[in-house]
Structure 1
Amino acid sequence: MTNKVPDNGRAEYNTSYKVGQDNVQFLGLDVLNPVFSTSAVIIFAFIIGSILFPSDASVILSGAKNWSINNFDWFFMVAGNIFVLFCLLLILLPLGKIRLGGTEAKAEHSTITWFSMLFAAGMGIGLMFWSVAEPVAYYTGWYGTPFDVAANTPEARDLAMGATMFHWGLHPWAIYAVVGLSLAFFAYNKGLPLTIRSAFYPLFGEKVWGAIGHVIDVISVIATIFGLATSLGFGAMQATSGLNFLFDIPNTLTTQILVITGVTAVAIISVARGLEGGVKLLSNVNMIIAAVLAVFIVIVGNTGAIFSAMIAFLFSYVENIIPLSNWIGREDTTFYHGWTVFYWAWWISWSPFVGMFIARVSRGRSVREFVIAVLLVPTVVSLVWMSVFGGSALDQSANGIGALANGISDSSLAMFQMFASLPMTSVISFIGIILVLVFFVTSSDSGSLVIDGITAGGKTDAPMIQRVFWAILEGIIAIALLVGGGSEALGAIQAAAITIGLPFTLLMLIMCVSLWKGLHSDMHLYK
């Protein structure tokens, strides 16, 4: 393997492969057939099986998920720690000077817009769902407590803060950063297609354009579509719970289908408008609404408790990050497997989608700038968000205020139950519902862009109909699963996505080695 140094300051690889050279065109589509057809067959087989036999599918796939989590908990934990250390190393070493796109590359998006897009795609909807439910769940022992401390105690409250931040801080964002940086570097600095297989070129060479690469990309597509479809289905349940709570709209299957249809319709419009006119615009809107909601709660809520929680969340996170990262001799198996290891597998299963989307919007950033923005800045924002929402919820739960005084009964209602104990409940709840829905739209349309890119062999200018096709398919899958098997069918497909996280963890560790080799081959351009 030899390098060439073109005028744009990039040390590109000498590869005979050209983007789209193996694509086939039919029915207005332009796709890489082995990836597109294999992914489609597997996806439809899983979906049909889950609809026709929801109980059996749930048992089989949940068994596979539990087997992965129970037998490879140590593997997920070790890998998560490696990803964090790897990212911190890239910030500190001279490798951080390398610029994505070459020495002369310029950023394509403003810093605020760039951050808004990566955050909205990566975690926005999860923070809406769990920022209230999770810390209260840990405090009250809804499904285990960290280190098996006694529930409803000061120690449980402190650990609830640290454990919540642990699950939404450095570790998940390091997972996204590894995938995103790998894809961006090999696409923009080495002239390879913007697709998952390209990250393995330094190790496998031209073989990545064959069967090895097809397998990698198919795994990525399946993990992405399953993750998005289940999130859309479960999110519809949360949105309808909020509509029922606020407007007394019946929380029925029909309402859930209407919510998914509406979200999908807006996502289709957004994805048809492309990155600039769709995802970028909605991401900026997202962040504005989120900021307004957070500031509103600080003003009308228990302001002192929120600011105290901010300090407590930070100190508890710093104090407990190493104990919580430990996998040896853990006896709190309900919490450890049910929350931490599950989360790590879930973040990893989402990493092809989020990582590729982050890569797509990050040309022109230095490696150091990229890692700081993807790793550290979202962790700080998560800290603030969790302090406002989780801090308010813990204050209500610990002091016997409102519905949360009795703990969590329904995680999809937790946020609205917290809002019910604040002034101007209707206004806050309405903003919350809008934010949930807009976050779902940005996840759906950015996911459609990513899946389209992978199945098109790395092309970023494939026909618009392909992006629309994937956006429609996500909505159809979510509706079909709800109609066919409800939460049981959704849980089965979610279990499949979690199970896929196991082989992809190994791929990510290999990706770190590949990225390290690739970055070192560019260092001579920055001396």
Structure 2
Amino acid sequence: MSNKVPDDSGRSEYNTSYKVGQDNVKFLGLDVLNPVFSTSAIIIFAFIIGSILFPTDASAILSGAKNWAINNFDWFFMVSGNIFVLFCLALIVLPFGKIRLGGKEAKSDHSTMSWFSMLFAAGMGIGLMFWSVAEPVAYYTGWYGTPFNAIANTPEAKDLAMGATMFHWGLHPWAIYAVVGLSLAFFAYNKGLPLTIRSAFYPLFGEKVWGGIGHFIDVISVIATIFGLATSLGFGAQQATSGLNFLFDIPNTLTTQIIVICAVTAVAIISVARGLEGGVKLLSNINMIIAAVLALFIVIVGHTGEIFLAIGSFFLNYVENVIPLSNWIGREDETFYHGWTVFYWAWWISWSPFVGMFIARVSRGRTVREFVVAVLLVPTVVSIVWMAIFGGSALEQAEAGVGALANGISDSSLAMFQMFASMPLTSITSFVAIVLVLVFFVTSSDSGSLVIDGITAGGKTDAPMIQRVFWAVLEGIIAIALLIGGGSEALGAIQAAAITIGLPFTFLMLIMCISLWKGLKSDMHLYK
């Protein structure tokens, strides 16, 4: 299939003779773009082997690199995050919002609910399960610093805990995903370029994106994605086993963690083999139904009135603190600022190739305005409601001295289960939460496998099924190998590597904004 755009389209500056898969090689049933596939594989296995053989040294080196990036480029991460938010808000109100992904007559491939379910599950569904209780209580009790050095366990700390939690899960992370996702969707569906990261840079680099520059961009994207998924799977297994131990007294051992990873990987293989419609889409819809039921249950059995008041409190504290928390000048709350905010920004950016490309893949037929509203504003509203239900209930327990949370956070992986322990039907809610955590991990794994497969296949979306299965299996193997070889220390080392990769990708994302602006501007004459 040629990606050449018809001359009468008025978009001749994007004409390219490059064909999807033209440089691919086929071997052992695979169909891959060799420079990206082989380079990524070599780097990944080198990191993994080094982390397993020398976990302490690897952790020290990579953690040092991560700290160097965070401490020296904190301002850069913060400024860039603010730029991404302003850029996305501008796209909503500017005439660019009329442009439809895929052309004026394009129709969406998925219902609005299924579309939102998929982008939300891929974006941060599992993170909201993990941190919706632990994070606001951590800020309130000063577990690892408080925003603006507020005195822990005070009304001021509680208000800031609400505002800071939403700051980390609101507009900024979703703007990061929206920039990458919209760029990829626009250049793939409106300019006929391959659905891969390098295509977003075509307006600036031209045909060079099919060579070394493009290979470099795609390799960084693959490494960031596989490292992020593998570490999340490893840490997620530890959280799931903590919940199983808490609920059923199942030993929280390495063997249990490996069994959990194998189970998640097995389901992910089935899902990824079924493809987008029968796999990720189905599981994402199931995710949202279970999550809605769990949230509704908490509202009913909890202090319903106070939960509804908490929704308003989370919103107001977010609005009140979003600008002060976005400031990078003269910050004295260094523990909180570097340990939470800048860390989060680097982590979201390292995940943006994966989440952005997956969102792009399911967003054909949406207008730019629809896309940005759905990816930026709707998730922020949903996150406010979710955080108010779970985080608000947890803060209420901590403030009232009820249950384990009265003593603060001892183990972040247990925080949600400790909150459930002070509510009715603890066993049922805890079990549902464990199921939801595991299903969210499956959707992350199989959607990530689809993304990595597309990048390493040069933008092909119909590569052999065995490739998608290969990446799903590799994610599980990496997580298990790291747990066996070095445990949390090895997982932390690879996570540090992923966060460090967030620094160069931030530069790429700023370039992506310029490239997208040029691309959208070239299409405006079609909508007059």
**Taking structure 1 as the reference length, what is the TM-score of the superposition?**
0.99
Answer yes or no: is the 8 Å Cα contact 2:242–2:414 preserved in 1. Answer: yes
Answer yes or no: is the 8 Å Cα contact 2:146–2:152 preserved in 1. Answer: yes
Give the aligned partner of residue 499 of structure 2. 498
Give the deviation of 1:371 after TM superposition. Answer: 0.2
Within-5 A mapping of 1:87-486:
87-486=88-487
SS state of the match for residue 366, structure 2?
Answer: coil
Does 2:476 correspond to 1:489? no
Alignment RMSD: 1.1
**Cα distance in 2 between the residues matched to 1:488 and 1:305:** 40
Amino acid aligned to 2:39: T
Cα distance change of structure 1 residues 10 and 415 upon mapping to structure 2, 3 Å threshold: farther
Amino acid aligned to 1:152: N
**Cα distance in 2 between the residues matched to 1:517 and 1:31:** 30
Give the deviation of 1:13 after TM superposition. Answer: 2.2
Deviations 1:425-468 (A, max 9, x none): 00100000000000000000000000000000000000000000
- Aligned pairs, how many? 525
Does 2:66 correspond to 1:65? yes
Does 2:86 correspond to 1:82? no
Give the deviation of 1:10 after TM superposition. Answer: 7.7
Deviations 1:381-432 (A, max 9, x none): 0001000000000000000000000000000000100010000000100000
**Cα distance in 1 between the residues matched to 2:323 and 2:509:** 22
Gaps of 5+ in 1: none
Amino acid aligned to 2:369: R
**Cα distance in 2 between the residues matched to 1:239 and 1:421:** 20
**Cα distance in 1 between the residues matched to 2:276 and 2:11:** 25
User: Matched residues, percent identical?
Assistant: 87
Give the deviation of 1:217 after TM superposition. Answer: 0.1
Answer yes or no: is the 8 Å Cα contact 2:204–2:515 preserved in 1. Answer: yes
Give the deviation of 1:16 after TM superposition. Answer: 1.0
Give the deviation of 1:6 after TM superposition. Answer: 5.9
SS state of the match for residue 459, structure 1?
Answer: coil
Gaps of 5+ in 2: none
Amino acid aligned to 2:407: N
Amino acid aligned to 2:130: F
Cα distance change of structure 1 residues 471 and 10 upon mapping to structure 2, 3 Å threshold: farther
Give the deviation of 1:305 after TM superposition. Answer: 2.0
Give the aligned partner of residue 13 of structure 1. 14
SS state of the match for residue 412, structure 2?
Answer: coil
Amino acid aligned to 1:371: V
**Cα distance in 1 between the residues matched to 2:310 and 2:260:** 34
Answer yes or no: is the 8 Å Cα contact 2:125–2:440 preserved in 1. Answer: yes
**Cα distance in 1 between the residues matched to 2:12 and 2:103:** 8
Give the deviation of 1:32 after TM superposition. Answer: 0.1
**Cα distance in 2 between the residues matched to 1:400 and 1:443:** 36
Cα distance change of structure 1 residues 154 and 458 upon mapping to structure 2, 3 Å threshold: same
Deviations 1:184-221 (A, max 9, x none): 00000000000000000000000000000000000000
Answer yes or no: is the 8 Å Cα contact 2:5–2:16 preserved in 1. Answer: no
SS state of the match for residue 252, structure 2?
Answer: coil
Answer yes or no: is the 8 Å Cα contact 2:36–2:215 preserved in 1. Answer: yes
**Cα distance in 2 between the residues matched to 1:283 and 1:423:** 28
Amino acid aligned to 2:160: L
SS state of the match for residue 30, structure 1?
Answer: strand
SS state of the match for residue 109, structure 1?
Answer: coil
Give the deviation of 1:306 after TM superposition. Answer: 1.1
SS state of the match for residue 39, structure 2?
Answer: helix
Give the deviation of 1:4 after TM superposition. Answer: 4.0
Amino acid aligned to 1:185: F
Answer yes or no: is the 8 Å Cα contact 1:137–1:143 preserved in 2. Answer: yes
**Cα distance in 1 between the residues matched to 2:383 and 2:372:** 16
**Cα distance in 1 between the residues matched to 2:366 and 2:43:** 37
Answer yes or no: is the 8 Å Cα contact 1:12–1:189 preserved in 2. Answer: no
Answer yes or no: is the 8 Å Cα contact 1:11–1:190 preserved in 2. Answer: no
SS state of the match for residue 62, structure 1?
Answer: helix
